[in-house]
Structure 1
Amino acid sequence: MKVESAIPEWLVRERTIPPNMPTNFDPPFELYTSRFPRNTKDLVLAVLVRVLDPALHKVAAVTDNQGHCNIAVLLYWKSKANHDEWLTTSGFDQWWDGLTPGSHQHGWFLEVFYPTIDRFETVITTEVPQGAANLRETMSGPIQEHRDALVGETSNIHPRNETSAPSSATGRRVVPGKKNLVVIRSGQDWSVAAPEERQLYMNTMHPVLIKGMDFLRDQGDQVGCFSCRFMEIVDPVTQKGGTDQTFGLAYFDSLASLEKWSKEHRTHLEIFAGFSKICQKAWG
């Protein structure tokens, strides 16, 4: 299988720590990556969530472990400049600043991330993009680096604690950002799979995936995970979710914590075992 580097030549940096995989690593299955324009410097991901009591609405993106239904809109921009312009021209900033806590029957929260291009990567099992990969210029692969594809990790990246934000007189809660926070968004799309492929996924992969996501959600502090939501994509026509299109959105305190959970914890080992079974069935 002919493979190429996941890192474009203009982002290559001299490595100061040894890679996880050998230079002649032969991938056991195909993975693809997104290629962004050479002038791309940063991206923006915003998560806008309305929190409802389950009795108020039937359509849900995810129900958290407190029984609250969270309906989220995930928004992506190709640059921070585009995002900042949208905040003003769309009227969103004015609307958000005008929200009064307690004036609605539900709550709101907003999470915004500004990854620079050297601290961002996409790894995809097919040429169907997920998340920010939809902003790509092209799709490329198969790639050699199933790991070690993050350009910014030329040296160890450690978590950094930030000072707490002052309490707000308006009743709003502000959680300050953390330097070197790790954000991972996985994606599963079985909407066009053949019946036997979908059954294989539901019987083999989905149960252990749910188990792993629930562990990170409920006991993530044991492995350095601040938050994990296993969310269903809501169909724009039917306004219903389902198991055909899902994704996990998790925040870790460091790459080391994410790596350790991935390599050592039984919940992820079971996920990888389920994924390997599907690969063997699908690609031999």
Structure 2
Amino acid sequence: MTAMPLNHEPKSNAWTADFTIDCLVFAQFGIQAKNGMNPEKYMEQFLQAFTNPNGPVHVDRAIHQDIDEYVNHIFLAYWDNKESFENWNSTSPIAKYWDESAAPVEEIGLWREILFIPNDHIETLHSGENYDSGVSNFLPLTYTKVHEYWGSMRDRLKASRLESFETEYDKEMLEPVHVESIGKRIRIYPSDNICLIRTAQNWSQCSNEERNTYLELVEPTLKEGAEYIRQNPSETGCLSSKFVYELALNGDSLDKSCTIAYFLSLAHLEEWAKSHPSHLKIYHTFFEMLQMHNYATELALWHEVSVLKTDQAIFEYMNCHSSTGLLKFTNLFDAKVYPHMKGN
């Protein structure tokens, strides 16, 4: 049953991706480094690997400095079918890092978060017909009226007509623990219906005045909100959150950023977006920006939201600090510590 109000007519235009594919593979590969660590050879290996046969149809690059003062160099890779990913993954030169018989790297941290997303378990929303935003790099966009009301995100997920996307966990159960993960490789098996959002901003087409408004007014609240939900999982239902700046594949800066966050469920994401002060502050600063520029802005906004089952996700961390990704919830979710680490 749709939440769309009767005779709904949105005040602004929006577009959504048309999923003409059966399954999307979205893979994040992270290279984690602190002072004294040299990530360059690993970054070159990953970039080269993406050009191999059956490589991703699109790759974004990003950088994130986390709370533990590690710099995470991140590749956001998309495949338009599972078979191509599996063929690439089995032959890629970086596959050696995830082989169960191999010892973990020691001079750097590596992590990967891979999602196999059925086409009815993902939705997107774009403020314009911009074909440089995640899946829109290789999938068509179509105009949609399914936005500008609470519940529209769920309505855009086709599987919501048959599924509730409920989780067996309450957010109050999210009490992070310290996991000794340096020198180890750990795989996490999250609960069913974990929810991912990648929500992004592109100010490359903004005037200087609008750019300054965005960077001085809006961006600080985005970064504050991403950090708040990371620090307060039992209040927000957020499992992991990072605000990243996007880069060109050669490492040049871009006028793009995004927050990448996992929530216990779609309902937890919806609750945070609808009523939590940290998100309402973000919403209000965007509205203030619109008012300041007479509702005529060039800031491009978009997001991708997906809901996954346990067997549709791979979360694996090698030689990473204990706050990385889902490591801090190994007490809640099933986890496997591979038996070839130091001390075993």
Tell me, yes or no, whether TM beats 0.5. yes
Does residue 139 (structure 1) correspond to residue 141 (structure 2)? The answer is yes
User: Who is 2:326 aligned against?
Assistant: none
Give the deviation of 1:115 after TM superposition: 1.1
User: Who is 1:107 aligned against?
Assistant: 109
Give the deviation of 1:177 after TM superposition: 3.2
CA-to-partner distance for each residue in 1:8-56, whole Å, 9 max, x for gaps?
A: xxxxxxx3xxx3331322212221111232xx21100111111100454
Give the deviation of 1:241 after TM superposition: 4.4
**Structure 2: 5+ residue runs without aligned partners?**
41-61, 170-180, 297-344
Matches of residues 153-164 of structure 1 in structure 2 within 5 Å? Answer: 153-154=160-161, 155-160=163-168
* Contact 2:17 2:135 survives alignment (8 Å): no
The one-letter code of the counterpart of 2:135 is: A
CA-to-partner distance for each residue in 1:112-141, whole Å, 9 max, x for gaps?
A: 1011100101101122242223220x2221
- In 2, Cα distance between equivalents of 1:272 and 1:191: 21
The one-letter code of the counterpart of 1:53 is: K
Give the deviation of 1:234 after TM superposition: 2.2
**Structure 1: 5+ residue runs without aligned partners?**
1-14, 162-167
- In 1, Cα distance between equivalents of 2:35 and 2:273: 33
User: Who is 2:64 aligned against?
Assistant: 62
- In 2, Cα distance between equivalents of 1:264 and 1:197: 27
User: Who is 1:87 aligned against?
Assistant: 89
Give the deviation of 1:160 after TM superposition: 4.3
CA-to-partner distance for each residue in 1:79-134, whole Å, 9 max, x for gaps?
A: 11111111123344344316522x43211111110111001011011222422232
CA-to-partner distance for each residue in 1:159-182, whole Å, 9 max, x for gaps?
A: 146xxxxxx9x9321111331110
User: Who is 1:264 aligned against?
Assistant: 275
Tell which deviates more after alignment, 50-59 or 75-84: 50-59
Give the deviation of 1:57 after TM superposition: 6.0
1:152 to 142, 155, 159: 159
* Contact 2:28 2:76 survives alignment (8 Å): yes
Give the deviation of 1:271 after TM superposition: 0.9
* Contact 1:36 1:135 survives alignment (8 Å): no
User: Who is 1:6 aligned against?
Assistant: none
- 2:90 is paired with a residue of what secondary structure? helix
1:41 to 12, 22, 26: 22
User: Who is 1:283 aligned against?
Assistant: 295
The one-letter code of the counterpart of 2:289 is: I
Give the deviation of 1:220 after TM superposition: 2.8
Matches of residues 249-260 of structure 1 in structure 2 within 5 Å? Answer: 249-260=260-271
* Contact 1:43 1:78 survives alignment (8 Å): yes
How many residues align? The count is 253
Change (3 A) 1:58 1:189: farther
* Contact 1:65 1:218 survives alignment (8 Å): no
User: Who is 1:24 aligned against?
Assistant: 7
- 2:214 is paired with a residue of what secondary structure? helix
- In 2, Cα distance between equivalents of 1:282 and 1:213: 28
Q: State the Cα RMSD in Å.
A: 2.4
Query: What TM-score, normalized to structure 1?
Result: 0.81
Query: What TM-score, normalized to structure 2?
Result: 0.68
1:120 to 114, 119, 122: 122
The percent identity for this pair of structures is: 28
User: Who is 1:184 aligned against?
Assistant: 197
* Contact 2:37 2:108 survives alignment (8 Å): no
- 1:209 is paired with a residue of what secondary structure? helix
- In 2, Cα distance between equivalents of 1:122 and 1:28: 18
User: Who is 2:188 aligned against?
Assistant: 175
- 2:165 is paired with a residue of what secondary structure? coil
- In 2, Cα distance between equivalents of 1:114 and 1:172: 21
Does residue 233 (structure 1) correspond to residue 241 (structure 2)? The answer is no
Does residue 199 (structure 1) correspond to residue 201 (structure 2)? The answer is no
1:248 to 225, 235, 259: 259
- In 1, Cα distance between equivalents of 2:77 and 2:248: 16
